[in-house]
Structure formats: C-alpha cells, structure tokens
Amino acid sequence: MTEELPPQLQHQILQLQQVQQQLELLTVRRRQLEGELKETERAITELEKLESDTTVYKFIGAILAQVDKNKLVEELKDKKETLEMQIKVVQRQEERTRNQLKELRNKIQQALAKRGSKIAE
C-alpha cells in the first residue's frame, strides 16, 4: 500500500530539508565566528602583556607592516565587539530556524498520522 504523498505534504518535506540545511549553515557560521572571536581575544591578551613601546607587526594583505601597539589593541577590541554582535545575530537566526524546523516536523507528523488513520480505515 505505497500511496503517493499529496503534493502539499511533499512540499512540506522539501521545506523541512531546506530548513535543516539552513540550520546547518548557520551553525557552521556561528562556530567560525566563535573561533575568530577566540583568536581575537588571545591576540588582545598577548598584546596587553607587552610594554607600550614594544614594536608590533600586523599582516596587511600580503605584507607585514609595523603598527602602533595601542592602535592595534583598539582595532582588535572593535573587531571583538563586532564579532560578538554577529554571533548574537546568528544565534537568534539559529533559534528561529530551530523553531521553524519543529513546526514543520509537527505539521508533517500530523499529516502522516492522518494519512495513517485514513489508510487503516
């Protein structure tokens, strides 16, 4: 008794797969941002341990340039702040996507349960 699924249910299943992929992409993006945040925090910590007159260098594209330590620390702190905001945005997107996923799963399960009871009759 392998009946063809109705088009609406097929569409919901396709949506579910797309939402799952979207959630995976968001999770990967959040993890990338978190890794970059940790690197930035480590750099700030190490730079703050140095004397203020210490010579520091920074990659700018393919070149290594001497930069002012305090300016670099401020730049990294700004980057850290930006990364923290981006992580919060991605976390909210993840949460919304998870809720959307739950709703779709429930709709599909209900539709399949109804189909099961109709077939059993």
- The enclosing domain of 34 has a CATH number of 1.10.287.370
Q: How many domains does the chain have?
A: 1
How far is residue 39 from each of residues 14, 25, 51, 116, measured CA to CA in Å? 38, 21, 21, 53
Q: What is the dihedral of CA 40, 41, 45, 47, to 10 degrees?
A: 20
Residue 5 lies in a domain: no
Residue 75 lies in a domain: yes
Q: What is the dihedral of CA 90, 95, 101, 105, to 10 degrees?
A: 160
Residue 99 lies in a domain: yes
Placement of tokens 């203020």 in the chain: 52
Residue 26 lies in a domain: yes
Placement of tokens 């059993």 in the chain: 120
pTM over 0.75: yes
Residue 6 corresponds to which tokens in the numbers above? 């109705």
- Per-residue pLDDT 10s for the chain (121 aa) are 346 888 898 999 999 999 999 999 999 999 999 999 999 999 999 999 999 889 999 999 999 999 999 999 999 999 999 999 999 999 999 999 999 999 999 999 998 888 776 655 4
Placement of tokens 């670099």 in the chain: 72
Residue 6 lies in a domain: no
pLDDT at residue 115, as a whole number: 77
pLDDT at residue 118, as a whole number: 61
* Residue 32 three-state SS: helix
Domain span holding position 29: 11-120
Residue 3 lies in a domain: no
